[in-house]
Amino acid sequence: MKPAVNGADAEGDDRQVGSGLTAHAMSTFPLGRSRLKRSGYGAMQLGGPPYAAGGPADRASAIGVLQAAVAAGVNHIDTAQYYGPGLANDLIREALYPYPQELAIVSKVAVGRPDASAVIPSGEPRQLREGIQDNLRSLAVDQLAAVNLRLAGRDRVDARFDDQLAAMVAARDEGLIAGVGLSNVRLEQLRHAAQGTDIVCVQNLFHLADRRDTPVLQECLRRGIAFVPFCPLGWPRGAANPVLTSPVVIRTADRLGMTPAQAALQWLLQLASNVLLIPGTASIAHLRENLAAEDVTLDREALRDLDGVGA
């Protein structure tokens, strides 16, 4: 196999896996010490609706999706202790433990959910450490590849933010986490944090129809930080989804023989080499569809038309 060039594997041999998915050499980008496949998996939907609460409708199917993702070559799983709460992490452990050596599990703290009710802020330094430890226990690991400081309401650069960063850095220095990440972060917060410590990833809302954080993406690219868009297929779900129901996206996908989801995911992949995708699903069929987005091509007409969706 040739070495990776510009964050992408030059070539690789395909192989069939038991789920019916094809495992092959996907493009990659580093997240801290780990070089990750750019097509990953987000575990939020495994916690059950609404908003990851109440548990999956079919536990065996959820476990099957996780196992199929890893068998297909996914080595980046995004999760959180408050998905469920606790259920997503329990499913990951049940499905995948002992974990493959190359698997990077990334979680987030500063948000809690004591039960199936609404999430609550849990951003005090003590709570951040407790949240990291909760993830370590539920996943049965000694260290997580990264943990994101999930900011609520787009907080400011202030003494509280510095205290939160200090707690995350302390957890990294103690070996509880390998890397510090940020989520729901403003550009000025990212720059401030990166001046004081290494930031390995940023996870913000970003998709074809919502590009407000393009400056954050560009800053991450300049610094070599992985940018992980959450809700990469649009939000909210259902009939109001601005991406998957867009006439432009649907027309483009039909013309090129792909699905709207594949068009939207490939658009993100070609946008910048540091984009890591974590679309979530509780279906192996949808998992197959999402991973195949690596293999589709958007021509110039498609890129021009899709660029207009977010205008």
Q: Which one of 51, 82, 83, 97 is the catalytic residue?
A: 83
Beta bridge partners of 269: none
Kindly report the backbone phi and psi dihedral angles of residue 68, in degrees, each rounded to the nearest multiple of 5, phi listed first: -65, -40
d(CA 180, CA 193): 10
Closest CA to 54 of 43, 41, 45, 63: 45
Look up 83 and say whether it is catalytic. Answer: yes
Tokens for 66, please give them: 């996780």
Strand partners, 37: 28
Instruction: Say if residues 183 and 213 touch (Cβ distance below 8 Å).
Output: no
State yes or no: cis peptide before 50, omega within 30 of 0: yes
Beta carbons of 131 and 81 less than 8 angstroms apart: yes
How does DSSP assign 246-265, residue by residue?
-HHHHHHHHHHTS-HHHHHH
The set of residues, in sequence order, having a beta carbon less than 8 Å from that of 2 and lying 6+ positions away, is 9, 10, 11
Question: Which residues are identified as catalytic?
Answer: 83
